[in-house]
Amino acid sequence: MMPGGLSETKPATPEVQHIVNEVKSQFESKENRTYGIFEAIAYKTQVVAGINYFVKVQVSDVNYVHLKVFQRLPHENQGPSLVGFQTGKTRDDPLTYF
């Protein structure tokens, strides 16, 4: 992986699910709705002054969203923040930079 580039797509881990859970309310607020299903499926990372996570999240039986979440460096003692998202995705849509 080149510096600043995206990693390969990896299956979601419990850590990634935790990050997604932490930004769920931010996403729901921006979308003005709530989701019963919010399961991280896959992700890519980008190392910046922290880490950008690009995460494919299942929100219904057939609907997915892609989230861009910024996780600051540990010494900053701040949780992750939702910096962007794409709706209307399917399970087969590739995760790309946005």
Which pLDDT tens digit goes with each residue over 16-44? Answer: 999 999 999 999 999 999 999 999 999 99
Sheet of 50-58, strand order: 10-11, 39-48, 50-58, 64-71, 81-89
pTM, full prediction: 0.91
Q: Are 37 and 58 in contact (CB under 8 A)?
A: yes
> Domain 5-89 adopts which CATH fold?
Nuclear Transport Factor 2; Chain: A, (3.10.450)
Nearest to 52 by CA among 88, 7, 93, 90: 7
Mean per-residue pLDDT of the chain: 92
- CA dist 38 → 2, 4, 22, 67, 81 (Å): 31, 28, 11, 11, 16
